Amino acid sequence: MSNSELNYWLSRFVLEIRKVDGSCYPPNSILSMVMGLASYIKVERKVNIDILSNSEFEEFRQVLDGQMKKLSNMGLGNLRKQAEPITDNEEEQCGNVEF
């Protein structure tokens, strides 16, 4: 496959990849897949092409950036996992516990 063809198909991959249920992957998952593909191309296929920096893949990187921004704007991947703050009442109850 030529670099031009690879550029095209990587761009299509980023635009069309979906979960089994048809929903979109969050941006960080797509980036992880792309990083895996980049590693596979360099290590396993022993081709000295860096799709993340080579100028021949500029279109692919623009598509990737645009898709990640689009998905982020849709709210995908923006969930922060954090605990709920302890209320004053809960703190007082814990203060009365003997260890």
pLDDT in tens, the chain (99 residues): 888 999 999 999 999 999 999 999 999 999 999 999 999 888 887 778 889 888 999 999 999 999 999 998 888 776 566 667 777 777 777 666 555
Q: Are 26 and 77 in contact (CB under 8 A)?
A: yes
Q: Say if residue 79 is exposed, middle or buried (CB neighbours under 10 Å; 0-12, 13-18, 19+).
A: exposed
> Which pLDDT belongs to residue 74?
84
pLDDT of residue 48: 80
